[in-house]
Amino acid sequence: MQATIQKCKQLASQSGFNNDQSQECANLICTHPGENATCTQEGVRSAAAAAIPTPIKLTCEQCFTKFLSADQLRLFTESQRSTLELICAEHVTTPLQDFEDLLTNIEQATGQSIDQVGLIQCLQNAGIVFSTGPG
């Protein structure tokens, strides 16, 4: 374990009697934790004990609204002749290549790029299944 230099500087105390400075380095970090090592100090959590945030899973609709602009979303729903809610509720298996081609066409029509990989990953996490066969 190693004390951080800044914390040591902040904890220094000096006696006016003999001009000696003493310090206690209480802010410890763990540089090479073993399996059973504890790198915590009162009031401080170790990196291993720190809470890992759970990623928030977006719904199908949230994926589309996150990755598509309003114009792109309008073109997408018009091309499907449906509303976003119905498109997502049906969970229709769509060929991945057809979906990517549609997104490319929407990019070209709007002049705005789409993070296709991000959108596809988000939709798959939301439960949408893409087939690999022809459409």
Angle between helices 96-110 and 70-80 (to 10 degrees): 130
pTM over 0.85: no
Could you read off the pLDDT of 94-123 as tens digits, one per residue?
A: 789 999 999 999 999 999 999 999 999 999
Q: Domain segments of the chain: what residues?
A: 1-51, 60-131
Looking at the chain, the whole-number percentage of residues with pLDDT higher than 90 is: 41
Task: Write down the pLDDT at residue 42.
Answer: 46
CA distances from 67 to 63, 75, 108, 119, 122 (A): 6, 13, 15, 6, 9
Q: Could you report the per-residue pLDDT of 49-64, keeping only the tens digit for each?
A: 556 666 678 999 999 9
Of the chain, the percentage scoring pLDDT greater than 70 comes to 56
- Residue 73 reports pLDDT greater than 70: yes
* pLDDT value at residue 89: 85
Q: Are 39 and 29 in contact (CB under 8 A)?
A: yes
Residue 130 pLDDT: 86
> What is the pLDDT, as a whole number, of residue 1?
46
